[in-house]
Structure 1
Amino acid sequence: MLNILFEDKHIIICIKPIGVLSQPGQGEGMDMITLLQEYRKNKKESDYIGLLHRLDRNVGGVMVFAKSELATKKLSVAIMERNFTKEYMAVIHGRPSEESGILKDLMFKDSSKNKSFVVNRMRKGVKEASLEYRTIETIGVAEGEFSLIRVKLHTGRTHQIRVQFASRKLPLVGDGKYGGKDNQCDAALWSYCLAFVHPLTKALVDIKQLPPVQYPFHLFSEELIKEEVKKEVNKEEVNKDVMLEH
């Protein structure tokens, strides 16, 4: 079941399938931590797995896990200081008013409902949320229009991409929780790129994976999607100098 894209003695980068939990305790069903612990046990290694970031159960794509406490600590610092690039592809209802841009909002997470909201003022529990996006392609469908977008997170808030676009009447296809009206898929969101400086070797790690060839991603130009995946991460965005200090 594991699809490992990169592994050394410090980290493992793999694909989290849609429907699999990121960690135990988020609900019933298989989770990535348990799968990776079993994988390491079968290799006669320590079963330590450090969780660095999460994907919602109904979201799939690239994730990185640490194989030691030292790697966990260093990568956690990189994520906190935003020296860690996370990019996604998503399919939304409609067409953004601008082909590309930056979305900034105040977001509040209601833990009792496991749901987040864009709000208009700062108060207890409210955090700033920021991302940038670019529209790859817009197509006509029976329901109107679908747009394939590329998203780079600046912050990592709960359900951030889903909420920020839904608040602009551009919900993700299949995301009934936030207004998506299509029931042919789960939320059409895929973690397609992780880029960071390796916490121990200091090499640039740049891992990309195409979204699955299934609804609704398969509706768009495969050539355009591949062109996006081929694009190099701007190495200046992954600040080696800052990471080398830790």
Structure 2
Amino acid sequence: MEDEALADRLLAHAKNIAADEIESGWASFEEMKMTNASIDDLSELTAKAELIESGEPLSAAVAHHVALLHMANEAYEEAQMFASRSLRLREKTNDEHGIVYGLALLEALAKKQHQHEIALVHASRRIELLMKLKDEEGQMEAMADMGHSQATLGQFDAAKDLYGQSLDLALALEDLSGQLVARWGLADIAEIEEDYETAMLQLSDCLHAFINAGLPTPIAVRQRIEALTSFNNTTDSRKNS
């Protein structure tokens, strides 16, 4: 409660000393997020900010937030409208990092609507921009996301290549979460192709990575290894009977 009260005082102070409409708008945006303001009120702030001189960054940020709220409510058409609006504003100001966030959101929305071909278009542009920015962590995540879309479309060779590149980056960055996502995707494809040995290898390598780091292995990984082991044992028994 004390932290909330302090935050309220800081926001009120920020609004009082704001030098212009833009600073005041940013303070209002933070306050609205803290108080869980309605989507309508946030949408109104987006529109007002866009009319202010040099207000595009604020308007884009609010529109992106509104898109996320709509997506959480499964209102995907509305989410796409605000996400596209945010991206357009960020392109106008050449905000490359913001464009990456916008493309990631549009990619996620396309997947939610099972529009995986459209997701691939956003993903390709996202990866290209991340390479330009030399953002290896971003590339790792984007390649795994694109690999998932390729796998969903049955493009397994392309998916394996993307997951493999994502895994290489995750290993170089020592990012266990990234390794988990990439290996999980590679294991999925291996199982679809009935290459259970490769699937087990990917999952086992994931397990050992967490053990070597002294961290608890995600329960889902252990459960999947157990299920795959049980399946392999059952298959072997049938072959021998």
TM-score range, shorter chain: under 0.3
- Which structure is higher in strand share? 1
Q: TM-score, normalized by length of structure 2? A: 0.22
- Which structure is higher in helix share? 2
Q: TM-score, normalized by length of structure 1? A: 0.22
Which one has more relative contact order, counting CA pairs under 8 Å at least 6 apart?
1
